[in-house]
Amino acid sequence: GSEARFFSFADGEGDDARLSRDALKSLLECTDNFCLAKHWLPDSFVENVYKQYAQGDGISLSDFARLERDGLLLEGKLDEYEQAFAAMDIAGTGLITRECLGKLFAGLGRVLSAKELDRIVDEADVAHDGIDFADFLGLARTHLELRETLRYLETHPTPDAGLPVDLSSPEFGPEASLGEVTTVHGEAELNAIIGNGADAIVKLAFTWCRPCKAFWPKYQKYAQIYKNTRFLKIVGNENESCKHYAREVLKAKISPMFAVYSKGKLVETWHGANTGRFIGNIEKSLESASALAPEREVAVAADPVLAPATSR
């Protein structure tokens, strides 16, 4: 257990046992199952932890218990970390690229600013020779949750080409992706798009929702009709960020649900796969959509599937 882990690195016995700075570094770099053959934690990180928890002549067992409760211990088995690392080492070079790391964060619902991603890469790359496996362990401690990452990589074994690298990616520009639907993977990505002030509509769906799937082809066609409005889609059970948006922001109880944004503000929401309600609400709420009502009428005449109806 944790006590055995403490005493295996500490000097002294019983209540007098203490962890020195060097012992703390070794302990923090190991799990119960493995230690790497080289040191990989930055000295600055270890020093900050030591200063926070040490009292007097080192870290006691009670200090260590507090450190453990605060989640600073590395957990998991070596093969789990190797599995996660291998999934991100697309080229097989033994290194993770900035692009791949940015896409991983995006897939987990956190699209980072270019500056923040650069900072994380710089901090993780201890030897400034690329993010190797040892550097990845540091990321797992400070910025990634192993279980969440493994679950994500099980369903996404290679980086999704449609994911952004960071918030400076071209898909966040006001004129980007007009005429088509952009799938977003978290609140940071969504907020970056609606934050530019352009008119936008968000379709909230869930993987189990049949009406959501049935409405999807229509939604894609409406994106082509209302070509001056940004059409977005978010899957409410994809990750914790998407769940938070569905539960806390939209307070969704029925899907599909739609949210309209203009000038960065939420202006209208409704739910249900109802074409008449969709057309009426989007044209009522957004000038960019109402201005294209004549074009919509022509499109509906050519494709009756798009016509206002009272279907579910």
Residues 248-299: pLDDT tens digits?
999 999 999 999 999 999 999 999 999 999 999 999 999 999 999 999 999 9
Higher pLDDT pick, 155 / 6: 6
pTM over 0.85: no
pLDDT score for 88: 87
Residue given tokens 């570094």 in the structure block: 25
Distance from C-alpha of 110 to C-alpha of 239, rounded to nearest angstrom: 10
CA distances from 187 to 75, 119, 283 (A): 28, 21, 25
Q: Are 271 and 257 in contact (CB under 8 A)?
A: yes
Q: How much of the chain, in percent, has pLDDT values that exceed 90?
A: 48
Q: Is the pLDDT of residue 34 over 80?
A: no
Q: Strand 257-262 and strand 200-205: pairing?
A: antiparallel
Q: Is the pLDDT of residue 92 over 50?
A: yes
Instruction: Give residue-wise pLDDT tens across range 194-243.
Output: 887 889 999 999 999 999 999 999 999 999 999 999 999 999 998 888 99
Q: Is the pLDDT of residue 312 over 50?
A: no
Amino acid letter, residue 29: E
**What does the buried/exposed string (b/e) look like for 84-119 if buried means 16 or more CB atoms within 10 Å of the residue's CB?**
bbebbbeeeeebbbbebbbbbbbbbbbbbeeeebee
pLDDT score for 175: 64
Distance from C-alpha of 270 to C-alpha of 195, rounded to nearest angstrom: 21
pLDDT score for 310: 46
**Mean pLDDT for the stretch of residues 67-88:** 83
**Mean pLDDT for the stretch of residues 18-34:** 88
Q: Is the pLDDT of residue 177 over 80?
A: no
pLDDT score for 170: 72
Higher pLDDT pick, 37 / 274: 274
- Predicted confidence band at 50 (pLDDT cuts at 50, 70, 90)? very high
Helices 21-28 and 43-53: angle between axes, nearest 10 degrees: 110
Under DSSP, is residue 281 helix (H, G, I), strand (E, B) or coil?
helix
Q: Is the pLDDT of residue 311 over 60?
A: no
Higher pLDDT pick, 171 / 32: 32
Q: What is the mean pLDDT of the chain?
A: 88
pLDDT score for 79: 83
- Predicted confidence band at 305 (pLDDT cuts at 50, 70, 90)? confident
Helices 98-107 and 114-124: angle between axes, nearest 10 degrees: 120
Q: Is the pLDDT of residue 308 over 80?
A: no
pLDDT score for 233: 95
Instruction: Give residue-wise pLDDT tens across range 97-137.
Output: 999 999 999 888 888 888 899 999 988 887 788 899 888 88
pLDDT score for 12: 93
Q: Is the pLDDT of residue 162 over 90?
A: no
pLDDT score for 207: 93
